Amino acid sequence: MSFDSMGLAPELLRALADQGYATPTPIQSRAVPEILAGRDLLAAAQTGTGKTAAFTLPMLQRLHAAPKQASGRRPVRALVLVPTRELAAQVEDSVRTYGRHLHGLRTVLIFGGVGINPQIDALRRGADIVVATPGRLLDHVGQRTIDLSQVEFFVLDEADRMLDMGFIRDIRRVIERLPKQRQNLLFSATFSPDIRKLAEGLLHDPVTIDIAPRNSAAEAVTQRAIFIDKAHKAELLGYIISRFNWPQVLVFTRTKHGANRLTERLIRDGIPAAALHGNKSQNARLKALAGFKAGEVRALVATDIAARGLDIDQLPYVVNYELPSVPEDYVHRIGRTGRAGQTGEAISLVCREEYGEWRDIEKLLRRSVPAFEVEGFTPSPRPDRAAEPVERAPRPARRTPRGGGRQEAHKPAHAGHGGRADASSARRGRPQQRGHRHGGR
C-alpha cells in the first residue's frame, strides 16, 4: 500500500513527501486505514517501526476532516498519553512535522519538571491536541486548567512502559475524565496480561495488530557479546569507540549513578559524553539529547527508563555496558538501533556476574548471540575454572567484532569447563596491550 491510496489529506501527503517517506512501514499500512475508519486499535509495535506516524497521521486527518465549531473555549479533541517527557516532546514534534501544512490545529505539550504556568496559558489559548505525561496532566485536571470531557481521540503510547513505571492508577484516573464516546488506540511493545487487562477495559471491539513480536527488533540488528571483567568495561568501551572510530553510540547502564560515573570516565578519556537519566533536570536531559542529535555528544549514556522511546535517527551502535535486570529491556535497548530499515549493531559487555542474565536474554531471543573476548581484555579466570588462551581470542574486526563469533567463549562460566586454568596466557596480553593503546598510561 502507498501513502497516496490511504485516503490521507493532500496536506499530510505533502508533509510526508517533505520528510522523504516514500512508502508506509508495515504498522502504518495496517493501522492507518483502520484508524481512519474509526476503529479502536490494539497495536504491538516498538519504537522504530514508525508507530508515531501510524497514529499521528490518521489523528490529524480525522481532526482536520471534522472541524469542531466550538462555542466558548476550544475543547481538547485528541489526547496522547505517554510515559516520559522525552517521548512527549518527540510525539509533539511528530504532530508538528506531519501537521505542518494543516492550519488551525493547535498542539500543547504537558509534562512535569517544568513550570506549570506556561502550560496553563497555552491551554487557555486553546488546544486541539494535547500530548502529556500522566502526572502533570492530572495536576491540570486537579486545578481544572484542562477539560477532557470533549476528547474524541485517545492514544496510550508505550503502554507497557507506563505500567512498568507504575502509572496504572493515573491512567485509570485520566480515563475516568474522558467522555464515553471516543476512539481509543493502545500501543505497546508487548502484550502482557496486564496490557490485555487494560485493553479490555479501554478498547471497544479493537482491531489487533501485532507488528513486532517482542523479539523481532533483533532482526535488523547485529548482536555481539564481549566477555570482560567488570573492572575493565569502561576502558574497553573507550577503546572500542576510539579504535573503531564510532561516530555515535548509545550506552546503557543500569543505574543513574553508573551512568554518571561512566560519562565522567569517557570524558576523561577524551570522548564527548553526556548522561541521560531521571535525576537530571528536564533542561539537562533536553540538552544532552540535543547535543547527541547535533553530533556534539559522541556517547550518550542512559538508563533504561530515560532512553525509552528516544527518537534518534540513524543510530548505528548501541552498547549494553551493563545488562538490564529484565531480559525484555534488552530488546527495547537494541531496538534503538537498526531502525526504519537501517542496520545497526548492538554490543553487550558481559562480566562474570552477569552470565545468568545473559543466559536469560538468549533464552528470550531463542538464539545464542556470538560472544567474543578481546585481546588484552580477556576476563581473568576464576580460581577454580579454566580461561581461554588469549591467543585464540579474536579482536573486533573493523568497527565491531564481526563473523565467526566464538560461541564457546562464555561456556566456562556456566557450562562447566573441565581443564586447568591457563591463567598465565590470559594475563599475559593485558598490561602490555593496554599500555600500548593508551600511550603508556
440 SS3 class? coil
Instruction: Quickly count helices (H) and strands (E) in the chain.
Output: 17, 14
Output the CA–CA distances (angstroms, integers) from residue 33 to 28, 57, 304, 412, in the order listed.
8, 10, 33, 53
Residue 86: which of 249, 336, 305 has the closest Cα? 305
* Extended beta strands in 264-343, E state: 273-276, 299-302, 317-320
- DSSP track, 177-216: TS-SS-EEEEEES---HHHHHHHHHH-SS-EEEE-S-TTG
Q: How far, in Å, CA of 23 to CA of 4, rounded? A: 9
Output the CA–CA distances (angstroms, integers) from residue 199 to 28, 171, 173, 360, 421, in the order listed.
20, 12, 15, 28, 55
In whole angstroms, the minimum distance from the beta carbon of 12 to ligand AMP comes to 12
CB 281 within 8 A of CB 113: yes
User: Rg for the chain (alpha carbons), in Å?
Assistant: 24
Q: Which is nearer to ligand AMP, 335 or 376 (CB)?
A: 335
Spatial strand order of the sheet with 344-350 comes to: 273-276, 299-302, 249-252, 317-320, 344-350, 221-227, 371-372
Q: Which is nearer to ligand AMP, 51 or 233 (CB)?
A: 51
Q: Which residues bind ligand AMP (CB under 6 A)?
A: 21, 24-25, 28, 47-53, 311, 313, 339-340
In whole angstroms, the minimum distance from the beta carbon of 3 to ligand AMP comes to 8
Q: Which is nearer to ligand AMP, 53 or 234 (CB)?
A: 53
Task: Report DSSP state, residue 19.
Answer: H
Q: Which is nearer to ligand AMP, 94 or 433 (CB)?
A: 94
Q: Which is nearer to ligand AMP, 25 or 119 (CB)?
A: 25
Q: Which is nearer to ligand AMP, 47 or 84 (CB)?
A: 47
CB 85 within 8 A of CB 175: no
In whole angstroms, the minimum distance from the beta carbon of 45 to ligand AMP comes to 7
C-alpha cell at 11: 496536506
Q: Which is nearer to ligand AMP, 314 or 432 (CB)?
A: 314
DSSP strand pairing (207-210 vs 317-320):
unpaired
In whole angstroms, the minimum distance from the beta carbon of 186 to ligand AMP comes to 15
In whole angstroms, the minimum distance from the beta carbon of 232 to ligand AMP comes to 34
CB 266 within 8 A of CB 273: yes
In whole angstroms, the minimum distance from the beta carbon of 46 to ligand AMP comes to 7
Residue whose C-beta lies closest to ligand AMP = 52
Q: Which is nearer to ligand AMP, 290 or 340 (CB)?
A: 340
In whole angstroms, the minimum distance from the beta carbon of 317 to ligand AMP comes to 17
C-alpha cell at 257: 549513578
In whole angstroms, the minimum distance from the beta carbon of 146 to ligand AMP comes to 25
Q: How far, in Å, CA of 54 to CA of 405, rounded? A: 38
Contacts of 391 (CB under 8 A, 6+ apart): 425
Q: Which is nearer to ligand AMP, 47 or 222 (CB)?
A: 47
Q: Which is nearer to ligand AMP, 309 or 396 (CB)?
A: 309
In whole angstroms, the minimum distance from the beta carbon of 223 to ligand AMP comes to 20
In whole angstroms, the minimum distance from the beta carbon of 94 to ligand AMP comes to 7
